[in-house]
Structure 1
C-alpha cells in the first residue's frame, strides 16, 4: 500500500533537499511538535531499521534486477496509485484532473500492459499526487501535531487519518490471498527504497536529521494540501515566503510601496534581474528569504514530480 511508503518517498525529498546545505527552514517555528521526545526516539528506531534491514534488502534487489525490469515494476505500482489519486481528485472537486488521472490509469492498464509501461505521460497525462490527507486539508481540517510512527515514518495527525482512508481506496487492499497482497506491499516498498540508495548517504551530512526531516515534511505536506500555498493559520509571513520560494516575484508596484527606509535603490532594482534574489542586500530586514531556502524549494518542486516520473527515470 502507498501508506507504507510515506517514509521512503519523503526520505527522497529531504535527502536531496539536504544537498543544498541547509538543515532547517525558517518556517520550522510553525511546526507543532509537542511529542518531540517520543518522536525523536521513534525516528532513531526507524533509522536503525532502515540501515540494518531495509537498505541491505534494497541493495540486493537493485543488484539482481535489470534496469528495464525495475522501471516496469515502478511503473506498475505508480499506476495502481492512480486509483487512489483519482478518488481524492473527486473528493477535492478537481473533476478535470480526475478525468485526466482516470484516463491515465485506463491507458496504462490496457495499452501499457497492466501499467508496466507508461503510455500516458508522453501523451501529456502527467502523474499527480493526491491523498486523503491532502483532501482533509482542502476541507479545512486542522493539520494537528507532528508525529513519527513506527515503520511508517513522519506524519501529522491529519495525514495519519488520511493514510487509513487511503488504505481502503488502494486496490492492493483487496488482493487475495493474503500472501499475494503482502508480497505486493513488500515489493512496492523495496522498489521505492531501491531508488533512494544513492541519496540516502546525504542524510549523514545533516547536523540534526530529525529537525531537518520534520520541517521538510511539514512544509511539503502544506504545499500539497493547499496547492502550493501555506494554510491561513501559518501566518502571512510564511505565505509570502512560500510565494517567493516558488519563484513568484512581487510586482514592481508592490516593491515601490514597501516601507524599507534603509534600502538602497540599487538593491530594489536588482530584484528585477535576479531570479532567486541571491545577492539582494538591504540595510534593514530583507524582504526575501535566505538563498538556501530558495535552492531547497527549487529542488522540492522537482521532487514533487518524481513520484510520477518513475516511468521515465
Structure 2
C-alpha cells in the first residue's frame, strides 16, 4: 500500500516536471520563486518550530550524548543512506562510484558493526551524496519552482519528486512495527539537525534569512546535480567581436594621429620639392675659373 501511494505521488510530480520543460541552470541563475508569499509564511512556521522545539532538542541531545555515541549514530544513518546513494550512482551512469559506494556499505555494515564505525573512509572509500533529485537533474529535468515544505524545509519541485523515490529506496520505510519505523525516521531527522547546529549562526545573522536560505539551498542543489560542472547557457563573445576592440579601432584620437603622420609626410615632400626648384650650386671648375679672374683683376689694379 505504501509503495503504491509513493508511486502515484511520484508519477504526478514527474508529469508536472516534464510539463514545466527541461532546462539546465548555472549556479547563479535566478531562482524561480512564484509562491514567495506562501513560502515566507511556511518559513516563519518552520522557523518558530525549529527555534522553540527542534533546535533545543538537538542542543539537548548533543549536551547529554558522548561524542563517540553521537558519531556512531551519525555513521549508522549515513550507512543506511549509502543504499540510496549507490542506486542513484547507477541511474546516473557513475559505475565506478557505484562500485565504491557498494563496497563502502558492505565494509561499514560488516566490519563497522552495522555502520556504527566508518572503516571505509580511511581505506579510500569516501562518502558521496547522491539522490533521485540529482538524478533527475542529470537527466535534464527542470528544477521547477522553489517552495517551502511544512516541517521539512526548503525544496524545489524536482527535489520533492525525487524525495518520494528516495523514500522508496530507504530501508527505514519498510521497518515494522510502525513505532520502530517512525523512531528511526525521527532519529535520522534529529541527527541531521544536530549536524547543522554549527551553521545556524549564518542564517540568524543574515539580513533576510528567507532569501539567504533559499539561495543557499538552490545553489547547493545545482552544484550537487551537475557535480559543479554546469552546462553553458550563453556563448561568450569572441575577441573579434569585442565591443572595446571596435571602439579602439574607431578611436578619434587614433584618427588624428594618422592625419598628423600624413601631414608630416606631406611636409617632407614639400621640402624636397623646394630643394628641387632651387638653383643648382656652381660646379667646382666654374669656381676655379672665377677665382683666377679675381686674381687677374687684383694684379692689374696693382700695376
Q: Answer whether TM exceeds 0.5 for this pair.
A: yes
2:64 maps to what in 1? 64
CA offset at residue 219 of structure 1?
Answer: 1.0
Distance 1:91 1:27 in 2: 23
Distance 1:27 1:125 in 2: 28
CA offset at residue 261 of structure 1?
Answer: 4.0
Are 1:111 and 2:82 counterparts?
Answer: no
Offset from partner CA, 1:197-251 (integer Å, 9 cap, x none): 233133221001111111111111111111213355xx338xx9xxxxxxxxxxx
Distance 1:28 1:34 in 2: 18
1:202 maps to what in 2? 202
2:100 maps to what in 1? 100
1:52 maps to what in 2? 52
Higher percent of residues as helix: 2
Offset from partner CA, 1:91-136 (integer Å, 9 cap, x none): 1111111111010000000000000000100000011110000011
- Contact 1:222 1:231 (8 Å CA) reproduced: no
1:165 maps to what in 2? 165
- Contact 1:108 1:119 (8 Å CA) reproduced: yes
Distance 1:200 1:154 in 2: 15
1:177 maps to what in 2? 177
2:148 maps to what in 1? 148
1:292 maps to what in 2? none
Distance 1:29 1:96 in 2: 31
- Contact 1:28 1:215 (8 Å CA) reproduced: no
Report the number of matched residues.
220
Name the SS of the counterpart of 2:154 in structure 1. Answer: strand
Distance 1:134 1:27 in 2: 14
Offset from partner CA, 1:164-200 (integer Å, 9 cap, x none): 0000000111111111111111111112212332331
- Contact 2:203 2:213 (8 Å CA) reproduced: no
2:234 maps to what in 1? 236
Q: Which has the larger radius of gyration?
A: 2
For the structure 1 residues 120 and 256, does the alpha-carbon distance in structure 2 shift closer, same or farther, using more than 3 Å as the test?
Answer: farther
For the structure 1 residues 39 and 119, does the alpha-carbon distance in structure 2 shift closer, same or farther, using more than 3 Å as the test?
Answer: same
- Contact 1:27 1:215 (8 Å CA) reproduced: no
2:88 maps to what in 1? 88
2:257 maps to what in 1? none
Name the SS of the counterpart of 1:147 in structure 2. Answer: strand
CA offset at residue 140 of structure 1?
Answer: 1.2
Distance 1:199 1:112 in 2: 29
Are 1:78 and 2:86 counterparts?
Answer: no
**Structure 2: unaligned runs, 5 residues or longer:** 1-25, 246-303
Distance 1:229 1:126 in 2: 20
Moved over 2 A (4+): 26-29, 195-199, 229-232, 254-262
**Structure 1: unaligned runs, 5 residues or longer:** 1-25, 241-253, 263-313
1:38 maps to what in 2? 38
The structure whose RCO (Cα within 8 Å, separation 6+) is larger is 1
Q: TM-score, normalised by structure 1?
A: 0.66
